[in-house]
Amino acid sequence: MQAYLDQLIQGGAFAGMPREVVYAIGMLLAAFIVLSAFVAPLAGVTSWLERRVWARMQSRVGPNRVGPQGILQWLADGIKNLLKEDIIPTAADKKLFSLAPYIVFMGFLCAFVVIPFGGHLIVADLNIGILYILAVTSLVVVGILMAGWASNNKWSLLGGMRSAAQIISYEIPAGVSVLMIVFLAGTLSMQGIIKGQGWAPWDWYLFHNPFTFAGFFLYFTAALAEGNRTPFDIPEAESELVAGYVTEYSGMRFLFFFFAEWGNLYVIGAVATTLFLGGWQVPPLAIFENSPMLLAVAQFVTFFLKAYLWVFVAMWIRATLPRVRVDQLMSLCWKYMVPLSFICLLGTVAFMFVPADGQRITSAAMFGLGVAITIIFFLRVGFQIRQAKPELYFKPHI
Amino acid sequence: MNETAQDQDTGFHTEDMTISVGPQHPSTHGVLRFVVKTDGEVISEAIPDVGYLHRSIEKIGEKVTWHGYVPYTDRADYLAAMFANQVFCMAAEKLAGTPVTRRGEFCRVIACELNRLASHLISVGTFGQDIGAMTPFVHALRERETINNLMEEICGARLTYNYIRIGGVGYDILPETCTRISEFLDHFEPIVDEFNRLLTGNKIFIERLAGIAVVSKEDALQYNLVGPNLRGAGIKWDIRRDIPYSVYPELEFEIPVGTGHIGALGDSFDRYWVRIRELQESCKIVRQCLKMLPKGPAISKVARKFKPAAGECYVRVEAPRGDMGFYVISDGSEYPYRVRIRTGSYTAMSIIDKLSKGIMLADLIVLIGSLDVDAPEIDR
Amino acid sequence: MNGAQVGFFILAGLLIVSSLWVVFQRNVVHSAMALVAALFLVAILFLTLNAPMVGVLQILVYAGAIMVLFLFVIMFLNPIGLEQRRRLWWGFGALAGLLLAGALVPVLTNGDAPRDPVVATELFGGPEELARSLFTDFVLPFEIASILLLVAIVGAVVLAKREP
């Protein structure tokens, strides 16, 4: 981004303007474009897709009225929520109550700055990219605590407390799993990490060694917990805490929290893709040689699909699993995930001393194992689907 | 709790938080309220506050005729309307000495057991939802919807049936309805297995249930728990078997009891598991009834001006929420002199305070769900 | 004055305002929130100084973790009945503030220090530089700090584990 602006400045595009102003305007423009053209529709469509996927798994129909297959449902919901009255309870702490959704929103939105959508499609390739993501997403918890406290409602407070404890705890296994990859890549930059991998699955860090393979699942689980997703959705646990920290919110402020939740799903997928799944790497085909545009599109599509796969998995998990209890959540983190993640970290470090040939063999073996696991998984899914026998659905005859 | 001890230890002033769970809370299964005192998330006291759904059904019984009261009994427990119908009709028949036709008895059992399926489906489905599993809930309601369709076919109503009348049943079950019911059972039995794969076998679900809110045998008897809650504590007591009524003595079925094979005997999982197995047993009963269904009239001749002899009686049946009893006094007039209903949920409420000491807020929801309390049945 | 300086002064002004807010705010939660804002602004200052590593760590550790624990404790104890601030405490506070300001005097009067607020060495506070100085020049204090933290963690566990 900065390089591109530099290029324009050198070309004399902004003659007479101070460089900083150009940067500032460029950044604002980039933020605006990312927000309005990518993040908002993405979070919206994710919300629609989640409802549809969920409905499908529950043998319901789901929203299908607004637009083809109901795909514009998110727009309708957004407009509805914009038009709703913005209720602030009298007993609430008004300033903090109004501010909280924006902090949550900002925390997740800032993460999009360093997400590498393609080889050149990145707002800013910070040399500490992955650390930056961990930092800004940890700001979300401040907003949630604020919302929980400012609502002056006991359910909200309990939800805020649960959320704070949960996010702070699960940052550790997530961070250590990330550290594993940072060790392997030798850089914190998102692009650097992707460039350390190849397009082929056996070049991904996922299959680098058994420890990174385990680390991927540790990261994904911890990220789900950080994103307050089922089975770790205890901060808003609607059957226990009514709606947790969002109990008192309505209208657009309410929407902001869920905007952040759905957008955050994509961030989880994108980080997992960057760290473990080779990011935007595409096979070096001949057609990409002469057309950088085509290459950029291919990279974007690759990255998007890889990331979105994990969004889908998160939806799937949400439709399948019940919710854990708050103490079980904590013991899962501190008794199992934190020690496991440290073991994986040490294992990865030890593995870095293995000679290159050995590493290649391990990658191939791990890839084979991954394929085997995938096949077993799909056989299992197929078994479940056959057992479910949709044709047996009893046809209502009235 | 050990509030003062904590104060002395840490020097911090800690105070219990009083939370009002309900009457409008997603997991209280109706309009029901608990005043919960918690220390953080740990409950020190949960006092049930009932009465939000009182509709004076018992008093109405003194003002309407014997026939006219049957639809009101539907409303005692809207999830299991058939059983209240049946128990009131049994009471009236006992007072008046009215015989019930044999076909009528079988129709009653078929309808009741289908209703038990519907009620237990709601119970286990919402239980799953209380714990955060949404899909099993929708699947359970999908199956219940089919049962509602069948009920509509049998008696024209989907929820409050008014099907069982004094002397038999209101409408005969048609042969094509019988085939439809057995088709549904063929479909439903595998669904129970699917439900078990989806929810019962889930590790998180088991962890949430096992060992939570353990009811000992003594407590179950002392607090007068009935139905699946009692059987979950390991006591084999079922009105259908122990105080036989209707045609149940002729039918073969098992009485599932809690075994404590996952957590402790009498925990939430045992109560849940008893309900799941009762689903299968009810399917068995309905199948047998469909096979044995005799020819003949569905209802015996009963005078329109029904006037049982003066006297009193107490009749009980095994409803989905346990022993449901009607105590009816007749003074020989067209109207009952006094009607008193005894329901399972009401006694189940009394044990909540005892069980909730020291458990977490999330477990209170599990506890309420596992006892399967139903607000209209508590208040009547 | 160039654009970067304008940016610096805006940030510095906001930082001072939020720091004053921390001190003069009566509501403890508001005060903590202002502290979060102040820490965040400091992090942005680090970013403008080409020290993204330090800035991000500032957010991650202070704004994201430590302040959350602060808020956690504040909300758990819920200090609604705040006692009146006594004049004595004002005196102590002012004295401590003056001492801290005095500590700044040598820095401000030091002729070698860069006058320009935004000029900083390239890679100052980058991951490599930070790691190098942590693991060479400051390895002893670094290890001592980590042992201190470990002791704190063990102590907290022991305190929390105590059977009732």
B34 and B74 fall within a common domain: no
Q: pLDDT digit string (tens) for A249-294?
A: 888 888 888 888 888 888 888 888 888 888 888 887 777 777 778 8
Most confidently modeled range among A142-146, A237-241, C5-9:
A142-146
Residue B104 lies in a domain: yes
- B207 with B93, same domain? yes
Q: Are B308 and B27 in contact (CB under 8 A)?
A: no
Shortest CA gap A185–chain B (Å)? 36
pLDDT in tens, B73-114: 888 888 888 888 889 888 888 888 888 888 888 888 999 999
| Position B210 confidence tier, pLDDT thresholds 50, 70, 90 | confident
pLDDT band for A398, please (50, 70, 90 cuts).
very low
Q: Is the pLDDT of residue A396 over 50?
A: no
Q: What pLDDT shows up at residue A397? A: 43
Q: Does A324 touch chain B (CB under 8 A)?
A: yes
Range A165-188 average pLDDT = 86
Task: Mark yes or no for CB contact C52/A138 under 8 Å.
Answer: no
Contacts of A397 in chain B (CB under 8 A): 149, 180
Q: Are B141 and B284 contained in the same domain? A: yes
Most A CBs within 10 Å, among C6, C25, C71, C157, to test the A interface: C71
Express as a percent the part of chain C with pLDDT over 70: 78
Closest among C83, C77, C73 to B14, alpha carbons compared: C77
Do residues B14 and B107 both lie within one domain?
A: no
The model's pLDDT over A360-373, given as tens digits with 9 standing for 90+, comes to 888 888 888 888 98
**How many domains does chain B divide into?**
2
Instruction: Give the closest-approach CA distance of A370 to chain C in angstroms.
Output: 34
- Cβ–Cβ below 8 Å for B362 and A326: yes
B159 within domain boundaries: yes
Say how many residues make up chain A: 398
- Mean pLDDT of the region C9-27: 84
pLDDT range class, residue C144, cuts 50, 70, 90 = very high
Q: What is the mean predicted confidence (pLDDT) over B45-49?
A: 85
Look up the domain containing B30 and give its range.
4-48
Residue C147 has pLDDT above 90, yes or no: yes
Q: What is the largest CA-CA distance in chain B?
A: 79
**Residue B1: pLDDT over 50:** no
Q: What is the mean pLDDT of residues C15-34?
A: 82
pLDDT score for C22: 83
Q: Would you call A396 and B149 a contact, using CB atoms and an 8 Å cutoff?
A: yes
CB contacts of A135 in chain C (<8 Å) are: 56-57, 59-60, 64
Protein fold of C1-80: Four Helix Bundle (Hemerythrin (Met), subunit A) (1.20.120)
Residues above pLDDT 90, as percent of chain B: 2
Q: A residues 219-238 near C, CB within 8 Å?
A: none
Residue B377 lies inside a defined structural domain of this protein? no
Residue range B223-264, pLDDT digits in tens: 888 888 888 888 888 888 888 888 888 888 888 888 878 878
B307 and B181 inside one domain: yes
Mean pLDDT over C75-102 rounds to 73
Asked whether residue B198 carries a pLDDT value surpassing 50, the answer given is yes
Please state the domain extents for chain A. Answer: 1-74, 84-353
- The pLDDT of A124-131, averaged and rounded, is 78
Residues from chain C that touch A21, judged by Cβ atoms under 8 A, are: 3
Task: Output the average pLDDT for chain A.
Answer: 82
In the three-class reduction of DSSP (H, G, I as helix; E, B as strand; rest coil), residue A85 is classed as coil
Asked, for residue B321, whether it belongs to a domain, the answer is yes
A2 pLDDT band, cuts 50/70/90, is low
pLDDT band (50, 70, 90) for residue C148: very high
Q: What is the pLDDT of residue A363?
A: 82
- For residue B9, give the chain C residue with the closest CA: C164
Mean predicted confidence (pLDDT) in C60-75: 79
How many residues comprise chain B? 380
pLDDT digits (tens, 9 = 90+) for A208-256: 888 888 888 999 999 888 888 878 887 777 777 777 788 888 888 888 8
Site of tokens 């996952």: B262
Same domain, B40 and B142: no
Same domain? For B80 and B112 the reply is yes
Give residue A375's pLDDT: 92
Contacts of B187 in chain A (CB under 8 A): 392-394
Question: Which residue has better confidence, C148 or A125?
Answer: C148
Q: What is the 3-state secondary structure (H, E, C) of chain B?
A: CCHHHHHHHHCCCCCCEEEEECCCCCCCCCCCEEEEEEECCEEEEEEEECCCCCCCHHHHCCCCCHHHHHHHHHCCCHHHHHHHHHHHHHHHHHHHCCCCCHHHHHHHHHHHHHHHHHHHHHHHHHHHHHCCCHHHHHHHHHHHHHHHHHHHHHHCCCCCCCCEECCEECCCCCHHHHHHHHHHHHHHHHHHHHHHHHHHCCHHHHHHHCCCCCCCHHHHHHCCCCHHHHHHCCCCCCHHHHCCCCCHHHCCCCCCCCCCCCCCCCCHHHHHHHHHHHHHHHHHHHHHHHHHCCCCCCECCCCCCCCCCCEEEEEEEEECCEEEEEEEEECCCCCEEEEEEECHHHHHHHHHHHHCCCCEHHHHHHHHHHHCCCHHHHHC
Mean pLDDT value across residues C33-61: 82
pLDDT digits (tens, 9 = 90+) for C91-133: 888 888 888 888 888 777 766 655 554 455 555 667 777 788 7
Neighbours of B63 (CB within 10 A): 12
| Residues near B77 by beta carbon (within 8 Å), at least 6 away in sequence | B83, B84, B319, B321, B324, B343, B345, B374, B376, B377
In CATH, what number is assigned to the domain containing residue B145? 1.10.645.10
pLDDT (0 to 100) of residue B7: 45
Directed axis angle between helix A210-226 and helix A154-185, to 10°? 160
> What is the average pLDDT across C40-54?
80
Mean pLDDT of chain B: 84
Higher pLDDT, A113 or B338: B338
